[in-house]
Amino acid sequence: MTPPPFLLGSTLLFWGWQSQSQLLPFAILMAIILESPHWTKWRWTLTDKDFNLVIDFTSFSLIIAVIYLTTQQSSHGLMILLNSLPILFFMLITTQTYSTQGTIKLSSLFLSLRHYESKVGKPHPKANQRINLSYPYMMICLLSSSLNNTPWYFVGICVLIGYGLWAARPQRYSLTIFGLLLVIACTLAYMTQLGIYRLHSKVEELILNWFEEMFWADRDPYRQNTAIGDIGKLKQSNKIILRVKTPNPLLLRETSYNTYFHTTWLAKPSKLSEISYANDVWTYEKFKLKKEKKENSPEISTYLRKGKGMLALPHGTYQISNIPVLSLQHNNFGAIKIENGPELINYTAHFAQKTPLDSTPSKFDLYLPPHEKPYLKELSNQLNLAHQTEQQVLNTLSRFFEQNFQYTLKLSAPTQRNITPLEDFLRHSRAGHCEYFATATALLLRTAGIPSRYAAGYAVVEFSQLENAYVVRKRHAHAWTLAYINGRWQEFDTTPATWVSMEQEMATWWEPINDLWSYLGYQLTKWRWRENGNDWLLWLILPLTMIFIWRLYEKKLPVLKKTAQETVAKLGTDSPFYQIVRQLNTSGYNRQAGETLTIWIKRIQMLDTNIQTMLTLHQRYRFDPVGISPQEKAVLTRHVKTWLENSKTR
Q: Which pLDDT score is estimated for 72? A: 65
Contact present, 52 and 114 (Cβ < 8 Å): yes
Q: Which pLDDT score is estimated for 553? A: 60
Q: Which pLDDT score is estimated for 404? A: 92
Residues pairing with 250 in the sheet: 460
Omega before 269 within 30 of 0, i.e. cis: yes
Contact present, 325 and 341 (Cβ < 8 Å): yes
Residues pairing with 276 in the sheet: 283
**Which residues in the chain show pLDDT less than 70?**
1, 20-21, 72-76, 117-118, 121, 148-151, 197, 200-225, 227-236, 270, 276-280, 284-295, 353-357, 415, 506-508, 528-542, 544, 548, 551-572, 593-594, 607, 649-650
Could you tell me how many helices (H) and strands (E) the chain has, helices first?
A: 22, 26
Could you give the residue ranges of the DSSP H alpha helices within 240-344?
none
Would you call 404 helix, strand, or coil by DSSP?
helix
Q: Which pLDDT score is estimated for 45? A: 85
Residues pairing with 44 in the sheet: 99, 559
Q: What is the β-pairing status of strands 431-432 and 406-407?
A: parallel
pLDDT in tens, 434-493: 999 999 999 999 999 999 999 999 999 999 998 899 999 888 889 999 999 988 899 999
Beta strand spans in 170-296 (E):
223-225, 232-233, 240-245, 250-257, 259-261, 264-266, 273-274, 276-278, 281-283
Residues pairing with 104 in the sheet: 131
Q: How many CA atoms lie within 13 A of 542 on its CB side?
A: 5
317-321 sheet: strands from edge to edge: 276-278, 281-283, 317-321, 344-351, 299-303, 240-245, 469-473, 462-464
Contact present, 405 and 428 (Cβ < 8 Å): no
Cα 484 from Cα 444, distance rounded (Å): 13
Write the CA distances from 215 to 204, 208, 471, integer angstroms: 16, 10, 21
Write the CA distances from 237 to 325, 452, 616, integer angstroms: 29, 30, 66
Q: Which pLDDT score is estimated for 526? A: 77
Contact present, 31 and 9 (Cβ < 8 Å): yes
Other CB atoms within 10 Å distance of the CB of residue 182: 16
The region that residue 520 occupies, defined by phi over 0 for left and psi between -120 and 50 for alpha, beta otherwise, is: alpha
Q: Which pLDDT score is estimated for 208? A: 47
Residue 81 one-letter amino acid: L
Q: Which pLDDT score is estimated for 7? A: 87
Of the candidates 54, 141, 58, 138, the residue with the CA atom closest to the CA atom of residue 101: 54
Cα 43 from Cα 39, distance rounded (Å): 12
Cα 278 from Cα 283, distance rounded (Å): 8
Sequence-separated (6 or more) residues with CB below 8 Å from residue 629: none
Would you call 100 helix, strand, or coil by DSSP?
coil
Residue 358 one-letter amino acid: D
Tell me the whole-structure pTM to 2 decimals. 0.51
328-330 sheet: strands from edge to edge: 273-274, 328-330, 336-338, 309-310
